[in-house]
Structures are given as C-alpha cells and as structure tokens.
Structure 1
C-alpha cells in the first residue's frame, strides 16, 4: 500500500499546484491531465495490492 500512498501524494501535489492563480489555461489543462493520470495510476496500484493480499 506504500505505492498507493505515494501515488495519492503525487495527485495531491498536482492538485495543490492547480490552485496557483497565475497559471495559464494550458498549464491548468496539463495539470488536470496529470491529476487524471495520477488518479488512474493510484487506482491500479490499489487493485494490485488487493490482488496480492488475496494470495
């Protein structure tokens, strides 16, 4: 689950960066995509951990 926590930390970092009012629209779009990818990655890591726990 440590990997899952790190993935969520990354998502949180991108979300905090998104709060910067000086960002351009392109930067906001990029950060939104990074947040989506980080979320998807953490979900995959969580599923992997759940599978490993069942073994």
Structure 2
C-alpha cells in the first residue's frame, strides 16, 4: 500500500453501503457499536463485510 490506512477509504464506503442496504434502526445500532469498539473498528468492519458477502452470495 501507499501508506493508506484501512479506515481512510473503507469507513466512508461502509457507511454509504450500510445506509443504503440496512434499515435506519439497525444503522443506529451499528453506529453505537462503532463508537463502542474504539480501536478494534477495523476488525469489526471486516466482520461486517464478511457478513454482507455471505448474505449476498446466498
């Protein structure tokens, strides 16, 4: 990579994806989790991406 952190590009993409694909009441719960996990946010986003891929591929 070019010194680019994961959160610099993925965080905004995830937020747009989540706002379009998930009902608002669930988005607010995810935002609450984002704030709660703190430094573990990149790992949490990987789990969210994996769950989306599993859901979409079925």
Please state which band the TM-score falls in when normalised by the shorter chain.
0.3 to 0.5
Structure number with bigger Rg = 1
